[in-house]
Every structure is written in C-alpha cells, then in structure tokens.
Amino acid sequence: MAGPGAAFRRLGAVSGAGALGLATYGAHGAQFPDAYSKELFEKANKHHFLHSLALLGVPLCRKPLWAGVLIASGTTLFCTSFYYQALSGDPSIQPLAPVGASTLLLGWLALAL
C-alpha cells in the first residue's frame, strides 16, 4: 500500500512498539512520585496505544496526509505532556495536553473525510 499514507502506517507500527516499551517501563522500572503520577502515566500509555492503532488506518482514508499529521502530532503533544509530568512530577508542560487533545479530535474527523 504505497502513497502518502503508507509512512503513517509505519509510524503507527513504530509508535505501537514505543507504547509497549513505555508500558513495560511503567509497570516494572519507573519510580512514580505518587499514585496520581502512576495513573497519569497509564492514561498517557492507553492513549498512546489507541492512537498508534489509528495511525495504522490512515492509509485507508481519503485525506491521509491531513489525518496522519493531525493524529501523529496530537499523540505527541498529548501523551508527552502526561508522560513527562508522571515521571518528573513537573506540570510545566501540562498546557500542551488540551492542544494535543484538540489536534487528535481533528485527526479523527479527518479520518472521516
């Protein structure tokens, strides 16, 4: 399946592998400052997995470039802000989460086009 969406299929596979690696780290190696941080990490990881799967479907939509860029960038902004806060206890980049969530919403809508 060649075309503009094929790169997003590969990105989805790599992102899924990264989500699995982070899940393993969160379950077996991470030292969380508190219970809330562990919950935040798990929320980020759940969304990371879910949106990695969404990237696998990008080549099948009519606007793969739009959908892929929006989902990939939204996942990065949303999940990274939560992962960072969960592991460091520093909420300074937390304002990126709503931007990432809005970008993800647009990505899902682009899949529908």
Q: Report residue 3's pLDDT band, with 50, 70 and 90 as the boundaries.
A: confident
Residue 100 domain boundaries? 6-112
In this predicted model, what pLDDT tens digit does every residue of 28-87 receive, in sequence order? 988 999 999 999 999 999 999 999 999 999 999 999 999 999 999 999 999 999 999 999
Please indicate, yes or no, if residue 1 is contained in any of the structural domains: no
| 94-102 mean pLDDT | 97
57: Cβ contacts below 8 Å, ≥ 6 apart: 111
Please indicate, yes or no, if residue 98 is contained in any of the structural domains: yes
Between CA 10 and CA 84 the distance in angstroms is 25
**What number of CA atoms fall less than 13 Å from residue 8's CA on the CB side?**
28
pTM of the model: 0.93
Please indicate, yes or no, if residue 75 is contained in any of the structural domains: yes
Please indicate, yes or no, if residue 108 is contained in any of the structural domains: yes
Domain count along the chain = 1
80: Cβ contacts below 8 Å, ≥ 6 apart: 93, 96, 100
Q: DSSP of 5-43, one letter per residue?
A: THHHHHHHHHHHHHHHHHHHHHHHT---SSHHHHHHHHH
